[in-house]
Amino acid sequence: MSWTDERVELLKKMWGEGQSASQIAKELGGVTRNAVIGKVHRLGLSNRTQGTAVPPAAPAKEKAEAPKPAAKEKVLEDAAPAEAAPEPRPDPAPIARKQIVPAGQPLPPQPSANEISPEALASVREIEKKAKKISLMELTERTCKWPIGDPATDDFYFCGLPVKQGKPYCEAHVGVAFQPMSSRRDRRR
């Protein structure tokens, strides 16, 4: 199924009328509800402009201004003094959101690569000079599985040195891959 101009126009029309993604999928035929939702998102139709709108609730101000019977007011005056209205709570701190990178766009630099200690990097560089440079098919449970280089090039290989017991990497790569909890916690601040 392809999205022809006619099908897209029908989707826009039905979405604007307030029909559900399931109803639209059924009407179009040959597409799933999720395909309709995806197309709506890509077209930027997420906010419905027409259709069945929920009537807005009556403003609180109008409700407060409604006349009260005089008898109730008299009873309230005779009762204990009214408590002061509670102070409004301050707005919660905004939540830090991760940046969403659109598909096909390069990822921003990752902080973990920049925060490896210089000593660990020097150790890794020395170890990588001694690496056995093995291919994916040569990996075993006893060989370091640390990838080195760009997988899209012929220069790509795995370290291949003996692993540290219980880990998938050699001692130098374990030092880079498994950082202590305290340093990771400090990085988030």
Number of domains in the chain: 2
DSSP assignment of 99-166 = PPPPTTSPPPPPHHHHTS-HHHHHHHHHHHHH---B-GGG--TTB---EES-TTSTT-EE--SBPPTT
**98-126 residue pLDDT tens:** 666 677 667 665 555 445 667 777 777 78
The pTM of this model reads: 0.36
Structural domain contains residue 39: yes
Q: What is the pLDDT of residue 162?
A: 93
Q: What is the pLDDT of residue 174?
A: 85
Structural domain contains residue 158: yes
Structural domain contains residue 25: yes
Domain coverage including residue 177: 115-188
